[in-house]
């Protein structure tokens, strides 16, 4: 199941970026191989982008969990892109790290509401 979600996310992330070449598809396959066969890649450290990699070198470059952050992370070679998915009360999925809206938006209250 973990591999299925990883494949779906990588496909969505790579498909969301225009002009993705065959080299990009090869890169995704390489990342999946390293993830699925981690014991054979013990000398390789996978680079992960927390909150989709909104910060680089201590500076905020993109809104956290945004498509721009995902694209920026892919551009600098991140192999794992972590995003925070929550389900709102209406059943819709939202991407938001905090459980409250106050820190990153002009709204107030819980994300689930």
pLDDT digits (tens, 9 = 90+) for 29-86: 888 888 889 888 888 888 888 888 888 888 889 988 889 999 999 998 899 888 888 8
Residue 11 confidence (pLDDT) above 60: no
**DSSP one-letter code for 78:** -
- Contact between 63 and 95 (Cβ < 8 Å): no
Which pLDDT score is estimated for 90? Answer: 92
Which pLDDT score is estimated for 68? Answer: 92
Closest CA to 64 of 30, 23, 96: 96
Residue 93 confidence (pLDDT) above 50: yes
Averaged pLDDT, 85-110: 88
The two three-digit tokens of residue 74, written as one number: 């892919």
Cβ-based burial of 37 (10 A; exposed 0-12, middle 13-18, buried ≥19): exposed
Which pLDDT score is estimated for 86? Answer: 87
Kindly report the pTM of this predicted structure.
0.65
């Amino acid at each position: 199941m973990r591999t299925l979600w990883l494949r779906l996310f990588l496909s969505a992330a790579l498909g969301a970026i225009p002009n993705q070449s065959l080299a990009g598809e090869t890169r995704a396959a390489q990342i999946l191989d390293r993830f699925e066969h981690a014991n054979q890649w013990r000398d390789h450290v996978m680079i992960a982008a927390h909150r989709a990699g909104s910060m680089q070198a201590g500076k905020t470059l993109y809104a956290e969990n945004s498509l721009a952050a995902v694209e920026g992370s892919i551009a600098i070679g991140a192999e794992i892109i972590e995003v925070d998915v929550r389900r709102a009360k209406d059943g819709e999925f939202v991407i938001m790290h905090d459980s409250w809206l106050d820190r990153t938006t002009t709204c107030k209250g819980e994300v689930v509401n």
